[in-house]
Structure 1
């Protein structure tokens, strides 16, 4: 296996985390958050961030415990070879399926909003070809691409919701009460998927330079994503009201159209927004698929040639996977099923890994102290 250099800085890790988390989900978050909490839907992104932060803290701990190692190397060390290999396979399969679902969602948005005459298959295959090209390079290229595109993601993500406040009716946020904490918890578990992508840090943390601040990178990425999702939900509620949000397929895109009517200089503002959003989705899917293929490379102890061949071979089954849902309703159903599986992959396994490693460290430390006392 080729030796990889560790040259990811704190900002590059932050860029990867933000780019991985902000993608297709931003277009549906106002509807998802208000489904159960109604006018208090702004609590949804906060509850989701809390759930995700538990897993992120566990991944940061693991990254500090195993510098230079991806989850492919440290999972068998913690769980044993059999269970560790099973968890590795589950992680790789989950990322593969998630990349496929995200690509299909991307295609649906583009076809329904901007290019109605273009076949869905053409949109998806174009995106996948770009992603495969990225996956044929070494991992340093991923960091540079994320770092290059992150400015184009940061500004529009904040600007669109803030400008739409010009049309806001703040009474739509009233009254400040919710029916039960159960609905808050359910919404939190639904909206945590907006932050998924953080689990990819179990791959990318391995390439952090010595001294890179993993905790700072993680919390900066999480905080920015939370702010973006929070103001997007508040904008959706204040502009449309929670009842109307439930009737919109892509509520954030409707926010963009409302922003356009405020007298901005662009005639088709949603087209400009989607052009920038394409870069965001590209980095999201690119980071997912690269982590999947690179993990296979690490699992089989191969080099860049294996990675390039795998990237090309894997594209066809991924393409056909994106076409499995027959319509948008079925697509959202598949997404919900994948979310349910994601609880295990992105929350439970990282937390169990961190707890097991922590207990093992405490046990080994106690045993060393006892041996030292026995020796004296």
Structure 2
């Protein structure tokens, strides 16, 4: 059973969901999605948001049957100890590998745009020290920090309004649907990977101290915010750059701001990126927290587990990598991710109904 002395409100849950989903993936999303969906990339992003909403409803149905258990406890409750623990190993590997991938991408952005001469291992240490320091704190402190950090996401939206004064070409997204259904679905896959983080609900649900009847509404509102936020930036970048330009830009969102210059403020993109370090860090914190929680350790050993997982992520970032290796790493991690985030929860819900399993039933 989970500890009851650590709790969050539905208000904090809303911002936790947002912060765990928005981060490093947003910066390169238009480039990745445009490769397949072209001008219909914004449709792919919208469909991905709908898919996330469907999964949130499935999560809700599963968690209602086990309101005091986290994901890795539910697996053992339904599948038995042996199979449950085996599945939990894959769940842990998924979160630790995603944490490593996010940190690698984080380092790459910092190294490319802000500190090109700084060794990657130094940037990695600085990032992970901040992440470990926050993750070691209790869940309530993490949630409070995520609430404050959301203001920086709103700052990005406000800054993006300035880019509307630059030339725009609506023809880049017309005619709607011209890319074809298959390519739009391929773009949806890339959008889904950028929106991951909502699976944190599977670990946060037992710690919500208020009436859980309003949780589905809370997480749905968070998802709608994410869907609108991502779709907005997809449309903005698609009409700001030609397809050829987008194909050559690693982080189109940053390039969107690069052209802005004022008498008192120059290189808005670098100012933004310096601030955006915080939302990128929250994504790392979220996955470090999920990896540590998935190990089902006692509270007194939690800090040691966080330190160990932080060190493992650091070792992952030391592996020599280039764009090809990162692409391959991302490909295989995404396979594991789909299993942990989509397939396993769906199977658990089906089996819980077939075997009439719920929290009050006897362990298998």
Structures share fold, TM-score greater than 0.5: yes
TM-score normalised by structure 1 residue count = 0.89
Aligned partners of 1:341 and 1:264: how far apart in 2?
49
Residue pair 1:21, 1:195 contacting (<8 A) in 2 also: yes
Q: 2:287 — aligned with what?
A: 288
Query: SS of the residue aligned with 2:146?
Result: helix
Identify which range, 216-225 or 72-81, moves more after superposition.
Answer: 72-81
Aligned partners of 1:174 and 1:265: how far apart in 2?
37
Q: 1:354 — aligned with what?
A: 349
Post-superposition offset of 1:347: 0.9
Aligned partners of 2:2 and 2:60: how far apart in 1?
25
TM-score normalised by structure 2 residue count = 0.92
Residue pair 2:107, 2:124 contacting (<8 A) in 1 also: yes
Post-superposition offset of 1:266: 2.3
Q: 2:269 — aligned with what?
A: 270
Identify which range, 139-148 or 157-166, moves more after superposition.
Answer: 157-166
Q: 2:322 — aligned with what?
A: 327
Post-superposition offset of 1:230: 0.7
Pair 1:307 & 2:302 matched: yes
Number of residue pairs the alignment of both structures matches: 357
Residue pair 1:12, 1:143 contacting (<8 A) in 2 also: yes
Query: SS of the residue aligned with 1:28?
Result: helix
Q: 1:374 — aligned with what?
A: none
Post-superposition offset of 1:325: 4.3
Aligned partners of 2:339 and 2:127: how far apart in 1?
28
**Superimposed CA distance per residue, residues 136-172 of structure 1 (whole angstroms, 9 cap, x where no aligned partner):** 222222112212222222x124224333222222222
Q: 1:372 — aligned with what?
A: none
Residue pair 1:236, 1:252 contacting (<8 A) in 2 also: yes
Unaligned runs of 5+ in 2: 359-364
Indicate the RMSD between aligned Cα atoms, in angstroms: 2.1
Q: 2:4 — aligned with what?
A: 4
Pair 1:65 & 2:65 matched: yes
When Rg is computed on C-alpha atoms for both structures, the one with the higher figure is 1
Aligned partners of 1:17 and 1:64: how far apart in 2?
19
Q: In the superposition, relative to structure 1, how do residues 332 and 169 fare at CA in structure 2: closer, same or farther (>3 Å)?
A: same
Post-superposition offset of 1:279: 0.9
**Superimposed CA distance per residue, residues 188-242 of structure 1 (whole angstroms, 9 cap, x where no aligned partner):** 1221011111111111111011414221221111111111111111111111122
Aligned partners of 1:356 and 1:162: how far apart in 2?
48
Pair 1:221 & 2:222 matched: yes
Residue pair 1:245, 1:251 contacting (<8 A) in 2 also: yes
